[in-house]
């Protein structure tokens, strides 16, 4: 093949090396607008694990890279006059220029042609001349721009400014530092990349940058500003810039997050930053580019399909992995952008929050890397919770709301079982809830329990509109209280426009074939267009009746002995439909602005709070993101949470979605946790978080990092009612209270797990 690589950075050079190595007959030319020794940035970072993957592609290049590595294991976080260190991270850094020189030497050795200081304006010119054109021309890719409509890049320019400098100060660890000034906060990302130099990236919100007047400074003045800001870490060493093409305020740039829908067109393909970018906070941009090169070379050197078909296979193979890394980078990036929400934390928690902010590394992984560090975090957290100073998993610390103290941080999430008869909980509900009450979770929440027969989702939904129903619930609550330390919470709600449907397993969200009841909603909009029943727009009389029903339900929940009630204002049900602009199109005092849309839900909540005992807490569940353009956003959700907090809510149960069938959620592990994090740490209000939380490590990480106060797990509790008891045994936490009737099982399980651990160590 005749191949033109447009861009002489790591992506283009490494791809050229791998292709030429695989087949010396390939005619490959690398072209770049810059000189061979001109590069932006100073150092690059790889993990030890990453290098293992590169070795199979070209051992000679890896040997040369490793010969120039500076290795270190520690991360230092400097905050509030403290330095917190965690180890075992296995980093290796090197000069970016040295990496390019290694690639250039290896490429020349293999016979790759290289043309420097050659401006590239039209990739199509090369596409006509070459069999393959590789757009490796970076974040501001000319190749991508030429066919922007086809590649469909989503370019998100971030809010922070950063300057990428170097220094002769030899840092001993990957260093993060935070400086508060009269203008605002500045963040530091720094690490040593060879025997002589360290990378030194200073980052700040644009508002702070402008307030400090940095936009008016010359280059040397900006550098002096940063030297003065971090003088305590530099110890007299100077900062240096190698951005020859940038002057004055242009040295401070914004990060562009690039994500392309398509990576190839005919015989043109994008790799590296041209196709996708990863923020420097996670240090994986070069890793992504090199892994792209490996994958692209592999598919092109196969004999399966035409060139366009192979390019499609390349994207299919790489896209998911790239998205995973981009997601982790986004999480870390936004942590730094939103650092103001974490500065109230004590240094121990702020550092742990930073270290786990990508959501790729959690409590368990940190413990493998540095057991002593995690022991110090766990001990600190236990003391913060009023326990003796010894390390216990954060998920097993107590938590108090008003007069209710929970034994740990695990909640059985509300899950509809669709198994009631005329709203009456039966034998199934007794078995279901009591089994989970004995299973170790500190709080068991009921499914959405409806305030009236016509408030149900389906004929199988449980209710709390009659004394008989309250009595049946009371039997369940009494058993759980008598036989465990678990507390019981009732989630109270009204289905609104999502009501009068079949049981979930017979056709979720589909209307009943017969026996439908009339629906009400803030606006006459069906849930599923063309299928669902059209609800009637609520009148003031309807509002008064529904409010009275919520109050009556709250009183019955108290008579049944529940420890907490939750007001369901999420997932597109009645009260949620008032809050979301997608479902509330009213023109009266209950529609329009966010404050107006919250008016009726707040009115109902306040009426419930007025009759609920003052020493018992109340929760509110909200949808923090509608996942639809024009719908509720996380910023809106923070305002909704603030209004409910001011109305007397003790904790906000943060979920998302299920408001509109047009939603397009972005799923993943713990995918809704950032919404809880935002609300908890911006509003200083306790939160319950949900959303694909299924491991004890998830819970420990979320709680220790301060992203939520409680974790609600749904499906794991369907599969294992004793999930929490098993999680304790698996972590060697033997102080977990088990029902006395099951103590023999506790001892046997702990013994078996200990034996299995020993066998694994000796294997």
H or E stretch at 201: strand 198-205
Place of tokens 């054109």: 133
Q: Largest Cα–Cα distance of the chain, in whole Å?
A: 86
Crossing angle of helices 696-704/371-384, nearest 10°? 60
329 vs 332: CA distance, rounded Å: 5
Question: Helix or strand or coil: residue 587?
Answer: coil
Crossing angle of helices 285-300/48-55, nearest 10°? 20
Crossing angle of helices 634-646/594-611, nearest 10°? 40
The residues annotated with a catalytic role in the active site are 573
Q: Are 736 and 440 in contact (CB under 8 A)?
A: yes
CB atoms within 10 A of CB 544: 11
419 vs 628: CA distance, rounded Å: 32
Residue 2: CB partners within 8 Å, gap ≥ 6?
A: 26, 27, 28, 129, 130, 131, 132
**Two tokens at 31?**
């072209």
Instruction: Using the CB atoms, write b or e for 411-447: b if 16+ within 10 Å.
Output: bbbbbbbbbbeebebeeebeebbbebbbbbbbbbbbb
**Two tokens at 367?**
């413990």
624 vs 359: CA distance, rounded Å: 19
Question: Helix or strand or coil: residue 481?
Answer: helix
**Two tokens at 48?**
């030890």
Question: Helix or strand or coil: residue 520?
Answer: strand
Q: In what order do the strands lie in the sheet with 70-72?
A: 43-47, 91-95, 70-72
Q: Are 621 and 582 in contact (CB under 8 A)?
A: no
Burial status of residue 613 (CB atoms within 10 A of its CB: 0-12, 13-18, 19 or more): exposed
Residues in the chain: 763
Question: Helix or strand or coil: residue 209?
Answer: helix
598 vs 643: CA distance, rounded Å: 8
626 vs 660: CA distance, rounded Å: 7
Q: Are 275 and 265 in contact (CB under 8 A)?
A: no
Report CA-CA distances (Å) from 391 to 371, 386, 388, 409, 411. 11, 13, 9, 16, 22
Beta pairing class for 264-265 and 268-270: antiparallel
451 vs 604: CA distance, rounded Å: 12
**Two tokens at 484?**
């465990």
> Of 325, 303, 356, which is closest to residue 77 (Cα–Cα)?
356
Q: Are 682 and 624 in contact (CB under 8 A)?
A: no
CA dihedral 389, 390, 396, 399 (to 10 degrees): 0
407 vs 563: CA distance, rounded Å: 14
> Of 618, 639, 610, which is closest to residue 686 (Cα–Cα)?
618
98 vs 101: CA distance, rounded Å: 5
């Amino acid at each position: 093949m005749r191949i033109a690589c447009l861009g002489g950075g790591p992506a283009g050079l490494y791809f050229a090396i791998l292709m030429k190595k695989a087949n010396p007959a390939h005619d490959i030319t690398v072209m770049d607008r810059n000189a061979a020794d001109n590069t932006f940035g100073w150092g690059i970072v790889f993990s030890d694990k990453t290098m293992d993957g590169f070795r199979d592609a070209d051992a000679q290049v890896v040997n040369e890279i490793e010969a120039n590595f500076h290795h270190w294991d520690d991360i230092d976080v400097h905050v509030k006059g403290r330095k917190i260190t965690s180890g075992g991270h296995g980093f290796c850094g090197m000069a970016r220029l040295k990496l390019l020189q290694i690639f250039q030497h290896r490429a020349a050795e293999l016979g790759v042609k290289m043309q420097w200081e050659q401006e590239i304006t039209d990739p199509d010119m090369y596409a006509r001349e070459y069999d393959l054109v590789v757009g490796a021309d970076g974040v501001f890719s000319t190749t991508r721009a030429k066919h922007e409509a086809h590649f469909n890049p989503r370019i998100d320019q971030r809010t922070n400014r950063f300057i990428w400098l170097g220094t002769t100060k030899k840092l001993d660890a990957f260093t993060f530092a935070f400086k508060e000034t009269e203008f605002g906060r500045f963040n530091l990302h720094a690490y040593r990349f060879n025997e002589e130099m360290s990378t030194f990236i200073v980052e700040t919100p644009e508002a702070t940058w402008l307030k400090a007047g940095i936009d008016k400074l010359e280059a040397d003045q900006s550098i002096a500003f940063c030297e003065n800001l971090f003088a305590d870490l530099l110890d007299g060493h100077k900062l240096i810039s190698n951005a020859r093409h940038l002057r004055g305020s242009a040295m401070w740039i914004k990060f562009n997050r690039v994500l392309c829908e398509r990576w190839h067109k005919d015989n043109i393909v994008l790799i590296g930053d041209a196709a996708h970018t990863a923020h420097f906070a996670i240090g994986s941009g070069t890793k992504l580019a090199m892994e792209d090169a490996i994958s692209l070379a592999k598919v092109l050197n196969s004999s399966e399909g035409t060139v366009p078909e192979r390019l499609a296979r390349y994207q299919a193979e790489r896209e998911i992995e790239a998205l995973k890394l981009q997601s982790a980078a986004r999480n870390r990036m936004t942590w730094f952008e939103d650092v103001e929400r974490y500065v109230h934390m004590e240094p121990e928690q702020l550092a742990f929050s930073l270290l786990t902010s990508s959501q790729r590394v959690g409590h368990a992984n940190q413990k493998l890397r540095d057991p002593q560090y995690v022991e110090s975090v766990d001990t600190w957290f236990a003391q913060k919770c009023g326990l003796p100073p010894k390390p216990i998993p954060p998920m097993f610390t107590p938590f108090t709301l008003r007069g209710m103290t929970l034994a740990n941080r695990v909640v059985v999430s509300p899950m509809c079982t669709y198994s009631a008869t005329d709203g009456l909980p039966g034998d199934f509900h007794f078995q279901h809830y009591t089994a989970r009450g004995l299973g170790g979770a500190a709080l068991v929440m009921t499914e959405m329990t409806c305030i009236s027969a016509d408030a149900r989702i389906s004929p199988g939904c449980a209710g709390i509109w009659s004394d008989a129903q309250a009595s049946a619930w009371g039997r369940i609550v009494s058993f759980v209280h008598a036989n465990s330390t678990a507390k019981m919470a009732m989630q109270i709600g009204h289905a609104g426009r999502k009501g009068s449907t079949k049981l979930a397993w017979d056709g979720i969200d589909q209307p009943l074939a017969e026996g439908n009841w009339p629906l009400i909603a803030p606006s006459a909009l069906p849930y599923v267009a063309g299928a669902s029943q059209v609800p009637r727009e609520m009148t003031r009389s309807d509002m008064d009746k529904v409010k009275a029903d919520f109050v009556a339900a709250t009183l019955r929940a108290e008579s049944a002995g529940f420890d907490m009630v939750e007001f369901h204002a999420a997932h597109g049900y009645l009260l949620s439909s008032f809050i979301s602009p997608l479902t509330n199109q009213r023109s009266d005092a209950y529609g329009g602005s966010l404050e107006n849309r919250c008016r009726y839900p707040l009115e109902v909540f306040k009426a419930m709070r007025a009759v609920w005992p003052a020493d018992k807490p109340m929760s509110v569940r909200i949808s923090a993101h509608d996942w639809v353009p024009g719908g509720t956003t996380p910023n809106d959700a923070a305002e909704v949470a603030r209004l409910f907090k001011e109305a007397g809510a003790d904790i906000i149960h943060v979920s998302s979605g299920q408001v509109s069938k047009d939603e397009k959620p972005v799923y993943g592990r713990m995918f809704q946790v950032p919404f809880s994090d935002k609300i908890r740490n911006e509003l200083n209000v306790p939160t319950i978080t949900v959303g694909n939380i299924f491991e004890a490590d998830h819970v420990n990480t979320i709680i220790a990092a301060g992203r939520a106060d409680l974790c609600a797990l749904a499906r794991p509790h369907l599969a294992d009612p004793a999930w929490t008891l098993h999680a304790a045994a698996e972590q060697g936490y033997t102080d977990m209270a088990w029902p006395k009737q099951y103590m023999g099982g506790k001892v046997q399980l702990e013994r078996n797990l200990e034996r299995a651990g020993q066998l694994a160590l000796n294997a």
